[in-house]
């Protein structure tokens, strides 16, 4: 908008009527620079809303977990030896039964709790020994006050965990429905896309949902350049005279960038070709993030080729394409 405004005036004054005229005139003279925004199918809109809601619930759960960990560090640090992440249901049950270092404990009840949740990395005597450690010396009433706050946080954590489980089930069910024929309009993403995405190394539910929810129109149009720009893998080049700078793209969809980042990270662990490409980029002096963006950019090109041909991923074909013709 700022660049188009320079066509008509170089003054710094900003006026809404002038901006409206600039937009209309740019659309008239430079239609090829704009892309038509289409209405997404109902299933994609629902998928996007559920995925973003799951992310919000996860952030709330992490926030409440950080508060719980901070409270335990204040008066009950030995509890953190059992579960440093404070994100497991059995740990919450144990904390409800023993909210204070001075609470009465029974080895039999602890053993039953471990058996109920099928926890094998701990046994009742080990937990009892940890909880018997000398507690911190605090001001009178500080320990009881912190424990009351902990007991208020535990129902919140349980609620967030229940909501996440429900959303994951809905997302998986929705992906299953979207993989069935007839769930998409003909001019938008086809049902085959879900199966193709799932066939790629490093792609799971989270990456598939993010790709379909945040880049549905780009995937439907099979636009590789737009997808790599939206995902942040396409660099920005600045040239002026003899100066030539290649910079990381910051203007992109953050959820799509995050999905491609984890897709690339996991693929380097389970795909030999991705691990080799990552090692080559690191050997050239590129950072970890830059190397993963390079791996992700190649995966986007592979994805677009698969979507255009309608075929699922075949590792043998990619390994064959990676071998030079002279060595065959």
- Residue 46 is predicted with a pLDDT of 92
For residue range 60-82, list pLDDT tens digits in order.
999 999 999 999 999 999 999 99
- Residue 285 is predicted with a pLDDT of 94
What are the sequence ranges of the domains in the chain? 1-34, 45-171, 182-315
- Residue 239 is predicted with a pLDDT of 85
- Residue 328 is predicted with a pLDDT of 34
For residue range 283-293, list pLDDT tens digits in order.
999 999 999 99
CA distance 78 to 101: 9
Give per-10-residue mean pLDDT for the chain (328 aa). 82 84 90 83 91 94 96 94 92 93 88 93 92 89 93 96 95 87 48 85 92 91 92 89 87 93 95 94 94 95 91 78 45
Token pair belonging to 210: 């993010």
CA distance 286 to 266: 19
CA distance 313 to 299: 11
- Residue 305 is predicted with a pLDDT of 92
Pick the CATH number of 45-171 from 1.10.357, 1.10.287, 1.20.1440, 3.30.2010: 1.10.287
């Amino acid at each position: 908008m700022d660049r188009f405004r320079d066509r008509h005036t170089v003054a710094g004054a900003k006026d809404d009527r002038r901006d409206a005229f600039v937009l209309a005139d740019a659309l008239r003279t430079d239609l090829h620079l704009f892309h038509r925004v289409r209405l997404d199918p109902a299933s994609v809109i629902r998928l996007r809303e559920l995925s973003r809601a799951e992310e919000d619930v996860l952030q709330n759960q992490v926030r409440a977990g950080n508060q719980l960990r901070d409270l335990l560090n204040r008066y009950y640090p030995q509890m953190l030896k059992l579960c440093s992440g404070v994100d497991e249901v059995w740990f919450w049950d144990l904390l409800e039964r023993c909210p204070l270092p001075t609470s009465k404990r029974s080895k039999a009840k602890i053993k039953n709790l471990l058996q109920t949740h099928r926890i094998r990395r701990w046994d009742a005597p080990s937990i009892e020994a940890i909880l018997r450690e000398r507690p911190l010396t605090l001001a009178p009433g500080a320990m009881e006050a912190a424990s009351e706050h902990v007991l208020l946080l535990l129902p919140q954590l349980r609620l967030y965990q229940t909501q996440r489980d429900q959303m994951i089930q809905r997302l998986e069910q929705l992906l299953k429905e979207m993989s069935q024929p007839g769930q998409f309009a003909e001019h938008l993403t086809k049902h085959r896309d879900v199966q193709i995405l799932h066939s790629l190394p490093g792609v799971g539910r989270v990456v598939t949902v993010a790709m379909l929810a945040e880049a549905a129109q780009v995937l439907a149009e099979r636009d590789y350049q737009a997808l790599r720009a939206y995902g942040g893998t396409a660099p920005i080049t600045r040239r002026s005279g003899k100066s030539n700078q290649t910079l990381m793209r910051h203007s992109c969809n953050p959820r799509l960038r995050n999905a491609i980042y984890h897709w690339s990270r996991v693929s380097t662990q389970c795909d030999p070709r991705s691990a080799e490409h990552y090692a080559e980029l690191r050997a050239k002096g590129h950072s970890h993030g830059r190397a993963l963006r390079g791996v992700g950019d190649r995966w986007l090109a592979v994805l677009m080729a698969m979507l255009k041909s309608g075929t699922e991923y075949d590792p043998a074909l990619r390994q064959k394409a990676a071998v030079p013709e002279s060595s065959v």
